[in-house]
Copies of this chain bind each other. A is one copy, B any other.
Amino acid sequence: MPQTSPAARVTHQDLANAIRALAIDGVEKAKSGHPGLPLGTADIATVLFTKFLKFDAADPKWFDRDRFILSAGHGSMLLYALLHLTGNKSVTVDELKNFRQLHSMTPGHPENFETPGVEMTTGPLGQGIATSVGFALAERVLNAEYGDDLVNHYTYVLASDGDLMEGISQEAIALAGHLKLNRLIVLFDDNGISIDGPLSLADSVDQVKRFESAGWRTIRVDGHDPKAISRAISRAKKSDKPTMIACKTVIGFGSPNRAGTSKAHGEPLGPEEAAATKKALGWNYGPFEVPEEIRDAWLKAGRRGRRYRRAWTRHFKEMPVNARAEFERRIKGNRPAALKKAIEELKNQLVAAPQNVATRKASEIALETITSVMPELIIGSADLTPSNNTRTKNAIDIAPGSYNGRYIHYGIREHGMAAAMNGIALHGGLVPAGATFMVFTDYARPSMRMAALSKLPAIYVMTHDSIGLGEDGPTHQPVEHLASLRAMPNMRVFRPADVVETAECWQLAIERRDGPTMLALTRQGLPQVRTTNEESNLCATGAYELSPAKSNKPQVSIFASGSEVEIALNAQKLLAEKQIDARVVSVPSLELFLQQSERTRKKVIGSAPIKVGIEAAVRFGWDAIIGNDGIFVGMKGFGASGPYKDLYNYFGITPEAVVEEVSKALAG
């Protein structure tokens, strides 16, 4: 049923087939890629982009645009074709021809940090739909503050069977349903095919019923019927719940021999089938060729948000000057000017009146200061609020239909939380922090990696960071997590030693804008080891000399992080009693330290012949500081259940053990 489209004489089918043809050509040229999804969902995308999506291709970063998330990122040629056709300046026809080549704007999976107009990096399944919850929540939270004139948009997600099979999707749909995020609309590409074969090989879930059980509105449509799709989106936009539109589609639509089979999913059609597909679609043009009238119709769609953008700009300019400057600061992601001074004052107070507290409590102290100057910090916990100490005194909860708060009860959904945080960070205007026990970073790891890859300033508040949590035992005691997170590119891990270092690390976490930061915090109380006024942030280089040696030729350098800095200082004292001169270096961030200049590293590591590392975790990675002949006092395997002091003794992480190892080394 041909539809009249924005440009006269051009039908819906023409528009959709332009996407299909470009997707076929891109994959054929690369001899690699996924044609199945673009062929199958071109109708859905055409309806969305030509009739609904509020965007202006001339300004893909305009703040109040609707967001479109391609959760099934393997179908990247769909997105590139859409960006190209609607007039995105970065995605030229040459870039389409460069699909999946090094340094192109068109990598195998969409990468927001490479390609303007790509809202988020997708590919690992489930991330898109889960991250979209953060986008949709950020929109509502900012709308509650700034009103419809400035923040008023939708988040659309195209999700596949695979996205919905991943567990993270359950966390996401439960959270979105609970919070009634009615600006979130998921278009489910219900094609019944997976890589192994028909979906029925592995799945029998009634997705519509499942979304309904999570508080969503649902609609079923024929994903190749543009009128039905259009009606469904119209209804979805008016819903008071998030909406899932199950679009029945044929994967590889149009391909005579592959449509409806798993063969269509992830490999080029090949020249013959590509030609046969184009013929079947009635597309009689050369590779990467789009007739002018179809191109014009698509370019018109690319301008359909322009009048909204102009109105928005008018409203923006009409704001009172201070409010506008603050709004602009926030949507640009600049940090509040008052932050630095506030942290300095906090440090001065702490030096004047030392506090021996767990670093999770120290984090709460820092947060009281930070939240008072930083309204864009939006924080939450995966149902461990009383343990993570993340809810400051004046915090207001975000609740279903009520978005004027800054505190999120994420539920027991670490993965969903981390993905939502990514969405909040990508949306802009807010800075996300989220908390759980550090051992449960494992649950959130795929989204944390996405934050690192996508250079997102998410902050993870990870308490209970070692065997120091005690009785809950080895299932809850991280031992390899510091190493495994330090190994992740662009992830920054801080493990502060006391209340002052915690304030410094929080400052660094917030000031960082090009990647995520994890704060590893203790359950157990710690003495304040930083007792003198330091204006500069000593944690900024990852390691620094906390307690110098007595002589200028110390025999021992002791390196420690977090709760083990106390042990290092006590070992230094015990060694002094034995006339062994030692210095102590605090290492709040091992990997940040390794990124410093050779000069800084050499200076901090020093030349003492014996090097000792202390950390209630595995040695893995520490050899970079202490050498593979260094002494390491830490964990060799999993922890155990018991009071934490018993555990430190049992596993031999004590000042006495350090003295013993050092004495052995000196004797040998």
Contact = CB atoms under 8 A, between A and B. Distances in A.
Contact of A641 (B109, B194, B449, B636): B109
Interface string A419-450: 00000000000000000000110110110011
A321 B208 CA distance: 53
A201 B621 CA distance: 40
A213 B205 contact: yes
Given A475-B109, A641-B100, A641-B108, A174 B205 contact: yes
Interface residues of A, number: 115
Contact of A210 (B73, B104, B214): B214
B195 A386 contact: yes
Contacts of A95: none
Interface in A31-53: 32-33
A386 B197 CA distance: 10
Given A177-B204, A483-B620, A122 B628 contact: no
A342 interface: no
A271 interface: no
A101 B208 CA distance: 48
Interface string A196-240: 110001111111111011110000000000000000000000000
The oligomer's copy count stands at 2
A384 interface: yes
Given A111-B473, A194-B383, A439-B124, A409 B480 contact: no
A483 B213 CA distance: 40
A442 B453 contact: no
A608 to B, nearest CB: 15
B624 A628 contact: yes
Contact of A409 (B108, B167, B171, B196): B196
Contacts of A74: 472
A623 interface: yes
A176 to B, nearest CB: 11
A248 interface: no
A167 B178 contact: no
A280 interface: no
A410 B201 CA distance: 9
Nearest to A625: B628
A169 interface: yes
Interface in A108-165: 108-109, 111, 121-126, 161-162, 165
Nearest to A204: B178
Contacts of A201: 397, 399, 409, 411
Nearest to A640: B102
Interface stretch (A83-91, A357-365, A486-494, A546-554): A486-494
B194 A204 contact: no
Interface in A350-407: 381, 383-387, 397, 399-400
B161 A165 contact: no
Contacts of A161: 412
Interface string A443-482: 1011001101100000000000000001111111001100
B381 A474 contact: no
Given A100-B641, A473-B107, A475-B124, A166 B213 contact: no
A621 B397 contact: no
Interface in A15-67: 30, 32-33
A667 to B, nearest CB: 18
A640 B487 contact: no
B203 A108 contact: no
Contact of A623 (B167, B442, B624): B624
Given A107-B640, A453-B474, A646-B102, A412 B209 contact: no
Given A209-B212, A624-B628, A640-B107, A195 B479 contact: no
B214 A205 contact: yes
B472 A109 contact: yes
Interface in A615-629: 618-621, 623-625, 627-628
Nearest to A130: B167
A33 to B, nearest CB: 7
A637 interface: yes
Contacts of A196: 381, 383-386, 409
A411 B202 contact: yes
A252 to B, nearest CB: 16
Given A166-B443, A409-B202, A486 B620 contact: yes
Nearest to A98: B642
A612 to B, nearest CB: 15
Contacts of A208: 213
A197 B453 CA distance: 35
B207 A32 contact: no
A222 to B, nearest CB: 22
A416 B167 contact: yes
A484 B443 CA distance: 14
A440 B450 CA distance: 12
Contacts of A126: 167
Q: Quick one: which of A196, A415, A452 has the most chain B CB within 10 A?
A: A196
Contacts of A483: 483-484, 487, 620-621
Interface of A: 30, 32-33, 73-74, 100-104, 107-109, 111, 121-126, 161-162, 165-171, 174-175, 177-178, 194-197, 201-210, 212-215, 381, 383-387, 397, 399-400, 409-416, 439-440, 442-443, 445-446, 449-450, 452-453, 470-476, 479-480, 483-490, 618-621, 623-625, 627-628, 635-638, 640-643, 646-647, 650
29 contacts: A32-B471, A101-B646, A102-B646, A102-B650, A107-B641, A108-B472, A109-B473, A111-B474, A121-B475, A126-B167, A166-B171, A167-B169, A178-B202, A208-B213, A209-B212, A210-B210, A442-B446, A443-B446, A450-B475, A483-B487, A483-B621, A484-B484, A487-B618, A490-B637, A620-B620, A623-B627, A624-B628, A625-B628, A627-B628
Given A453-B474, A489-B635, 12 more contacts: A74-B472, A100-B643, A108-B472, A109-B472, A124-B442, A194-B411, A196-B409, A205-B215, A480-B488, A484-B484, A490-B638, A620-B620
